[in-house]
Structure 1
Amino acid sequence: MIGAQRNNVRLGILLMVGSTIVFALQDGISRHLAGAYNTWMVVMIRYWFFAAFVIFLAARSRGGLRATTRTEQPFLQIFRGLLLAGEVCVAIYGFTVLGLIQSQAVFICYPLLVAALSGPVLGESVGWRRWVAIGIGLVGVMIILQPGVGVFNLAAIIPLISALMFALYGLLTRYVARRDTAATSFFWTGVAGAVMMSAIGIWFWEPMTRPDWAWMSLLCVMGALGHWLLIKCYEVAEAGAVQPFAYFHLIWASILGMTVFGEVLRNNILIGAALIVAAGLFTLWRERVKG
């Protein structure tokens, strides 16, 4: 089955911005729940809903489950799902250790990682100007991490690992979209991740209070919606054209971090994030010039 892929940049940007709002809210809820319960359990429950949701959609689609699950690249689809589940665990752990603002300030470098890897993974052209922008963005990451100031906190690289995993997931999503529909990718993302998290998270079950079950339910809805928006985004637009707008995620996450969790936006984070965003916006400009 061949997915109908086009390059509608305007629609892709709207989908990306929408996903950043959903993901930021999801991050805030995840930080709250992971601060009170085991991260494995929180992610497992979220994936149970995710899997149920994608199976429901597949069953109601034209051709049913058989048509939706059909893919000529099953191992790649399963790997995508496992990679995303692992990334979610790493990211949420980072929230509990570093907070939303610092975690997201480093994590937003993932569009630059996407740009850097889009050549070897997708065969897209990456010129020297974009490589300069990528380098500037990585300087911003170093300013945030401050590896030369005092004793370097190894926990600071957690969001960088998460960013690399998410960048690879995004590129693989774009790659499989050449032959599979968004519905197929969505199905395998939810089911593969649910199987992996159930195998791990069931051993870390803890009782949850009624109010937190309400937050957990909202988190489940946010998770499914956010990744559906992202999959649709990569289906309709080139990765390099829409990735810079992923930086809106930092704005929403910073607002949540300061207003809800009492976090502080330090100068090094502000300067480093500004460099990363500027580099990303430059890559968008270059994409338009090439277009």
Structure 2
Amino acid sequence: MRGLSGNTVGIVMMTISTACFAINDALLKLAMAEIPSFEALLIRAVAVVLLGVPLLGIMGQLRFLPRAFEWRVQLRNLFEVIAALGFVIGLAQAPIADLTALGQTSPLLLLAGATLFLGERLTRLQIGLVLLAFVGALLVAQPGGGGFSPFTLFGLWSAGAVAIRDLIGRRINAEIPGIVIVVGVGIVGVVGAGIATLLFETWVWPGVVTLLFVTGSSALLLVGQWLLLHAYRVASVGSVAPFLYMSTIWALVTGLLIFGTAPNPLALGGIALIVVSGVAVVALERWPRKTVVSP
């Protein structure tokens, strides 16, 4: 990607990353048709470690593996697991549309945190575009159809944990390879999902097809997390955060291709708002910043 600015590279990485996460979720959902939710998360975490460690060896970065246990890396990955567990708990009891809608507050929380704690300066137009994308995400999710459930608040739990995860990830030493951090996600996930499985579920032995689904999910999680980390390393939070909403579009695409669920006109309108706001963020990269919001 030579010749491109850091923000442009970050935007491309974030877009591909959200696609990886969406397909990862779809494959995990297919696996959950046979095995319980926490068990699926546990197997996925084990597979991330089993795939990631040999990859570090191939890349000549195995010597960095102990740095996966540094406190900031572990804290970042703890919030990753908290986000995943919260979403799965909510998904078992609340309408997915309501849960997803609250989950879409993550970019807003992330931008607020970047302004307050990282000292990033955001234009009012940037903030407005993120809010526009949020409205688009609500049109896609279309919450409220199934009545309110307290478990819907787990969507906000997940969103808050994702925002904290990314703020901490921005502060991790850039010398630590991204794959090392992702292997750390698997290590923390084994512990967190393992405890949840022991406490709340009965183990079900998965079939070969289910294991293939989980393995594919793990590979995409590995790639998605690596791209996510590098997007925040090469670009500002204000530039890439709006592209977290691309996950909503990719979720609709996977829903259509894998589960046969087509978006309605409101959802298509929401997609248009997300795309417009994203294109505007890219275009604004070349404009001088005049009005800023600072801590």
TM bucket (normalised to shorter chain) is 0.7 to 0.9
Task: Say which of 148, 151, 157 aligns to 1:161.
Answer: 157
CA RMSD in angstroms comes to 3.4
Distance 1:260 1:63, change over 3 A: closer
1:51 is aligned to: 49
Task: Say which of 244, 247, 253 aligns to 1:246.
Answer: 244
Task: Say which of 25, 29, 32 aligns to 1:31.
Answer: 29
Runs (4 or more) in structure 1 with deviation over 6 Å come to: none
Q: Report the AA paired with residue 119 of structure 2.
A: G
- Give SS of 2:32's match: helix
Count of aligned residue pairs for this structure pair:
282
Using the alignment, how far apart are the partners of 1:174 and 1:226 within structure 2?
Answer: 16
- Give SS of 1:172's match: helix
Offset at 1:44? 0.5
Q: Report the AA paired with residue 248 of structure 1.
A: M
Task: Say which of 216, 219, 236 aligns to 2:217.
Answer: 219
Distance 1:235 1:86, change over 3 A: same
Using the alignment, how far apart are the partners of 1:184 and 1:220 within structure 2?
Answer: 15
1:229 is aligned to: 227
Using the alignment, how far apart are the partners of 1:181 and 1:210 within structure 2?
Answer: 32
- The alignment-based identity, stated in percent, is 23
Offset at 1:120? 2.0
Write out per-residue CA displacement over residues 186-237 of structure 1, whole angstroms, 9 at most, x where no aligned residue: 3433322323222332453212223222222222222222212222222222
2:292 is aligned to: none
Task: Say which of 10, 13, 16 aligns to 2:11.
Answer: 13
2:74 is aligned to: 78
Using the alignment, how far apart are the partners of 1:150 and 1:194 within structure 2?
Answer: 33
Using the alignment, how far apart are the partners of 2:58 and 2:143 within structure 1?
Answer: 51
Preserved contact between residue 34 and residue 210 of structure 2 (Cα < 8 Å): no
Write out per-residue CA displacement over residues 93-131 of structure 1, whole angstroms, 9 at most, x where no aligned residue: 5555534x6655553443333222211232211233334
2:170 is the alignment partner of 1:174: yes
Q: Report the AA paired with residue 174 of structure 1.
A: R
Using the alignment, how far apart are the partners of 1:260 and 1:117 within structure 2?
Answer: 35
Using the alignment, how far apart are the partners of 1:95 and 1:115 within structure 2?
Answer: 26
Preserved contact between residue 115 and residue 121 of structure 2 (Cα < 8 Å): yes
1:69 is aligned to: 66
- Give SS of 2:166's match: helix
Preserved contact between residue 90 and residue 155 of structure 2 (Cα < 8 Å): yes
For structure 1, list consecutive stretches of 5 or more residues without a partner in the other structure. 1-5
Task: Say which of 101, 105, 111 aligns to 2:107.
Answer: 111
Preserved contact between residue 108 and residue 249 of structure 1 (Cα < 8 Å): no
Write out per-residue CA displacement over residues 24-70 of structure 1, whole angstroms, 9 at most, x where no aligned residue: 111111222234422111001100111223333344554633x3433
- Give SS of 1:123's match: coil
Distance 1:131 1:167, change over 3 A: same
Using the alignment, how far apart are the partners of 1:209 and 1:62 within structure 2?
Answer: 34
Task: Say which of 82, 91, 95 aligns to 1:98.
Answer: 95
Using the alignment, how far apart are the partners of 1:177 and 1:27 within structure 2?
Answer: 29
